[in-house]
Amino acid sequence: MSTNISNPNLTNSTGHINILLVSIYSFISFFGLIFNLIALFIFYHNKFRSQTVVYMTNLATADVLLILTLPMRIYYYLGFDNLPQWLCEVLGLVLKANMYGSIFLLTSICLDRCMAVTFPMSSRVQEWRKKAPLVCLGIWLLTFGASVPIYLSKRSQVKNKDCFDGLPVYATNLVVVLPTLIVGFGIPLIIMLICSWGLARAVRRSTATQTGQVDEKKIKRMIITSLFIFILSFLPYHVILVLFSLVDVDSIPQPMKAAYSYSLMVACFNTVLDPVAYYFTTDTFRKSVDMGAVWRMFPLSSQSPGTERRIHNS
| Least confident range of 117-121, 252-256, 276-280 | 276-280
pLDDT for position 136: 93
| Statement: residue 219 has pLDDT above 80 | no
pLDDT for position 150: 67
| Statement: residue 162 has pLDDT above 60 | yes
* Average pLDDT value for residue range 7-32: 76
Q: Considering its fold, how many domains does the chain have in total?
A: 1
* Average pLDDT value for residue range 231-254: 84
Q: Which residue has the higher pLDDT, 37 or 213?
A: 37
Q: Is residue 56 part of a domain?
A: yes
Q: Is the dihedral of CA 268, 274, 60, 143 positive or negative?
A: negative
Q: Is residue 206 part of a domain?
A: yes
pLDDT for position 267: 93
**d(Cα 227, Cα 109) in Å, to the nearest integer?**
12
Domain of 131, in residue numbers:
12-312
Contact 274, 303 (CB under 8 A): no
- In CATH, what number is assigned to the domain containing residue 167? 1.20.1070.10
Q: Is residue 186 part of a domain?
A: yes
DSSP 244-278: HHHS-GGG--HHHHHHHHHHHHHHHTHHHHHHHHH
Q: Is residue 308 part of a domain?
A: yes
Per DSSP, the three-state class of 5 is: strand
Q: Is residue 263 part of a domain?
A: yes
Q: Is residue 6 part of a domain?
A: no
The reply to whether the predicted model has a pTM over 0.85 is: no
Q: Is residue 1 part of a domain?
A: no
Amino acid letter for position 152: L
- Single out the residue of 117, 146, 111 nearest to residue 132, CA to CA: 111
Q: What is the pLDDT of residues 272-301, one digit of tens each?
A: 988 877 766 665 545 555 444 444 544 444
